[in-house]
Amino acid sequence: MLEHGQNPFQQIEHLVQDSTKLHLLELAVQHNKFIFNLLPRSDSAWLAQINVAKQKRLDILLWESWQDESNLLTNHSLEFKIEPNFPYLRKLKEQIKHSYPTDISQTPLMQLKTLSQWVHTTSLSVIKHLLQTETDGICAFIHDPTLEFLGHWCGEQAYREGILWVDEYLGRLIAQLRELGVYDDTLILVTADHGMIFDTEDHLGDHGEFYSRSEVKYVPFLFNKKSAHFQSHCK
């Protein structure tokens, strides 16, 4: 049900985004997978709806703010929503906490590049660690928030550069999965909640009232499997 008086395109976006995440996580729970989420804190409300045993889940939430574009990082910005209570992740957790970037003297673009690199490197480390310890496999949801900031605050060229960062990350992820011998048993999905337009007066990215524009409403949906069964569920 859409609520009267609110932007219908944004409501549809949230419904699709949240239901897809919930569906994938429910499948992971059903098949006894360890669930690992790395995402912005503002995107975490739906996690409360997933009932997962504490020892089978790790959520890492990132601070994000639209208030001060000169300071995107903070010393206390990292939150472990559900702290694992078993030994083999404690050391990894401390490494993650100490590696989080906090240099706010950099330009917004460099802060975002540093943050994006941290998201990618951290997720690869955690995924590798979990794949070596969880015999039932894992389900990982990685949300890199930096493309959003790049578009809104740094412009089109920075946004395009950020897409290259994501592309490089996917190459590293695939290489790691192959190295661990699990790529053929892994499903990778890549998508986004919206696109970005850059014909505003200040040439910065926007989408607010333009959800009917093709640049905003058409997003990628990529997956690495050629299974006819899987493809039939994606039409």
Q: What are the sequence ranges of the domains in the chain?
A: 11-47+57-232
Paired tokens of 181: 């011998």
User: Given this model, what pLDDT does residue 86 score?
Assistant: 67
d(C-alpha 122, C-alpha 120), whole Å: 6
59 touches 81 (CB < 8 A):
yes
Amino acid at 106: Q
Nearest to 144 by CA among 159, 157, 128, 132: 159
Beta-bridge partners for 222: 190
Looking at the chain, the whole-number percentage of residues with pLDDT higher than 90 is 21
Sheet arrangement for strand 34-40:
78-82, 57-62, 34-40, 138-142
The reported pLDDT for the residue numbered 227 is: 44
- Angle (deg, nearest 10), helices 108-131 and 90-99: 170
Provide the pLDDT confidence category of residue 2 given band limits of 50, 70 and 90: very low
Which residues, at least 6 apart from 108, have a Cβ–Cβ distance to it below 8 Å? Answer: 69, 70, 72, 149, 153, 154
Question: Does position 175 have pLDDT exceeding 80, yes or no?
Answer: yes
pLDDT in tens, 63-114: 766 566 666 666 556 788 766 666 777 788 888 888 888 887 888 888 889 9
